[in-house]
Each structure stands twice: as C-alpha cells, then as structure tokens.
Amino acid sequence: MQVTINGETRVARQGDSVETLLQSVGLVPQKVAVERNGEIVPRSRYAITMLADGDRLEVVQFVGGG
C-alpha cells in the first residue's frame, strides 16, 4: 500500500504502524508530532495506529520560542 509522508509517496506494508513509519524514516518522537489525515495522532497511540492505503501523514516539528 502507499502512503504519503510530508508530500512524498512511500510504500508501506500491511500492519505497519505510525511508530514503524517514524522508525523507518529515522525521526526522534520527542521532537515531532505526527498528523494523519488532518488529525494529530496521540503519542501513546503510535504503536496501535495502523497505516491504511492512501494515508496522508505530515511530521510537525515543535517550535517553542516566544
């Protein structure tokens, strides 16, 4: 199946989770939030949120300046 992450198409396997995807692209979960189809995925649900064909994911880098 295919998903897009930050606008780039990637092939994902059935059963891949958001956590699997973050690991495969080498992102540090403490520095980012993950948006899936317009909704932030709660951090505690990365491992149980399974990817579906056509999912659009965006990685949101935290900013903290004022």
The contact set with other proteins (CB under 8 A) reads 28, 30-31, 33, 35, 38-40, 42-45, 60-66
CB of 51 to other proteins, least distance (A): 18
Q: Token pair 């056509």 is at which residue?
A: 54
* CA count, 13 A, side-chain hemisphere, 17: 11
Of 11 and 17, CB closest to other proteins: 17
CB of 60 to other proteins, least distance (A): 6
* Residues sharing a CB contact under 8 Å with residue 5, sequence separation 6 or more, in sequence order: 21, 25, 57, 58, 59
CB of 11 to other proteins, least distance (A): 25
